[in-house]
Amino acid sequence: MSDLVQISIRHRTGHIVLDRPKALNSLSLEMVRALSAALLAWRDDPQVDAVVIRSSSEKALCAGGDIRFFYDAGLATPQGGSALLEDFFTEEYALNHLIHFYPKPYIAVMDGVVMGGGMGVAQAGPGNRLRIVTGRTRMAMPEVNIGLFPDVGGSYFLSRLAGQLGLYLGLTGLTINAADALYTGLADVYLPEAQMGALLALFESTPGEGLPVAIKALAAPFQAEAGASLLATARAALDRHFSAGSVAAIMASLAQDDGAFAAKALAAMRLRSPLMMSVTLELLQRGAHLGVADCLRMERTVVRHNFEHGEVLEGVRALVVDKDNAPRWQPASLDGVDAAMVARFFAPVWPAQAHPLRHLD
């Protein structure tokens, strides 16, 4: 197990508490392995009827993967070939698959920051999930900020959002709040922060089998308090702009709109990696036609190519290591990105029988 993850069984519920507050619970390989071991042990345990995942801190459920680790491991020789880096993404994506198809209720308390890899451990499947957001929730798939792409199953769950919502979230990497999370379908119920004590008390008093109903009853009086969704207000413009067909066309469409929503989206996209925005668009278009396992296998291929290219290493250098906020993207502009360059990110790395996630179904 891990000192960064508290694991226990109480009242027929398996409890996972992420406990790396200084790093906003950024996932290490050790943490991924602890989560996987607990969930596998509980999957067929007759003493466990439900699972709760939450944080020891109100600041974040999980801010994503440990990107400083990505950087250090990715710079190891040969570039992108670190065995630990390979292990991390293989095991993280296998964990995402395990969570999606978990046979018991999977309750995620999405309090505080929930981004990237945090979404991967919170976005379970439609048959088992109960995703709770609060007034502190700050949700995003911000991978394009660091020259990566929306992984951890993002090619599956973003591509299935209504209209162009998934493409907007994936290409801009912008943060949304509880109201927007509920509107997009990336969350189920809202609880104000003042009710978190009552929620924890519920965990201690209610057997696992009854938790989903009890939580929904607790949350029911507060749903209107989540407020209005800004994405709902901007939805018509969002769908119009982000259906333009290419990253360049989307940005051109946004540039013709003098509204605040379009200006914010365009400003964000101007900072992102032109190549990885183009890869993200292709990823979500492909993901819309694939099942969960095939989406994760595709992402595993793309992440391997991503580290070999080095775009993510430059993104992490600029935002986290040197903190100059001036990434030198390659290519530097969309004009330098062509279809063949994007297609290379999807080229098979392994024969099908040797893919590290070949056993997922």
pLDDT at 268: 97
Which of 54-58, 196-200, 318-322 has the least mean pLDDT? 318-322
The token pair at 58 is 């109100």
- Given pLDDT bands bounded at 50, 70 and 90, which one contains residue 83? confident
Give the mean pLDDT of 160-183: 98
Give one DSSP letter per residue of 240-301, joined into a string. HHHTSSSHHHHHHHHHT--SHHHHHHHHHHHHS-HHHHHHHHHHHHHHTTS-HHHHHHHHHH
Give the residues across from 131 on adjacent strands.
108
- Given pLDDT bands bounded at 50, 70 and 90, which one contains residue 72? confident
pLDDT at 75: 76
- Given pLDDT bands bounded at 50, 70 and 90, which one contains residue 74? confident
Any idea which residue has 């670190």 for tokens? Answer: 82
Tell me the percentage of the chain whose pLDDT exceeds 90: 91
Give the mean pLDDT of 109-125: 97
pLDDT at 320: 87
CA-to-CA separations, 61 to 3, 86, 112, in angstroms, rounded: 16, 24, 6
User: Angle, to 10 degrees, between the axis of helix 292-309 and the axis of helix 274-287?
Assistant: 160
Which residues neighbour 66 within 8 Å (Cβ) at sequence distance 6 or greater? 23, 26, 27, 28
| Euclidean distance between CA atoms 239 and 222, whole angstroms | 29
Angle at 176 between CA 280 and CA 181, to 5 degrees: 95
| Euclidean distance between CA atoms 100 and 340, whole angstroms | 33
Instruction: Tell whether the model's pLDDT for residue 81 goes beyond 90.
Output: no
| DSSP helix/strand/coil, 27 | strand
Q: Given CA atoms 229, 233, 237, 243 in this order, what sign does their dihedral have?
A: positive
Instruction: Tell whether the model's pLDDT for residue 78 goes beyond 60.
Output: no
The token pair at 26 is 């950024």
pLDDT at 299: 98
Which residues neighbour 123 within 8 Å (Cβ) at sequence distance 6 or greater? 99, 100, 108, 129, 131, 153, 157, 186
Give the mean pLDDT of 274-280: 98
| Euclidean distance between CA atoms 164 and 273, whole angstroms | 20
Instruction: Tell whether the model's pLDDT for residue 110 goes beyond 90.
Output: yes
Give the mean pLDDT of 83-92: 90
pLDDT at 69: 83
pLDDT tens for each residue of 205-228: 999 999 999 999 999 999 999 999
Give the residues across from 6 on adjacent strands.
17
pLDDT tens for each residue of 157-166: 999 999 999 9
Q: Assess contact for 90 and 65: CB atoms under 8 A.
A: no
Give the residues across from 129 on adjacent strands.
106
pLDDT tens for each residue of 185-199: 999 999 999 999 999
Cα 230 to the chain's mean position, in Å? 20
pLDDT at 65: 83
User: Angle, to 10 degrees, between the axis of helix 83-100 and the axis of helix 292-309?
Assistant: 160
Give the mean pLDDT of 173-177: 98
Average pLDDT, the chain: 95
pLDDT at 80: 54
pLDDT at 42: 98
pLDDT tens for each residue of 239-265: 999 999 999 999 999 999 999 999 999
pLDDT at 142: 95
Query: What 8-state DSSP symbol labels residue 108?
Result: E
Give the mean pLDDT of 313-338: 93
The pTM of the full predicted model, rounded to 2 decimals, is 0.96
Enzyme catalytic residues: 65, 117, 143, 151
pLDDT tens for each residue of 1-48: 689 999 999 999 999 999 999 999 999 999 999 999 999 999 999 999
Give the mean pLDDT of 320-346: 95
The token pair at 339 is 């279809």
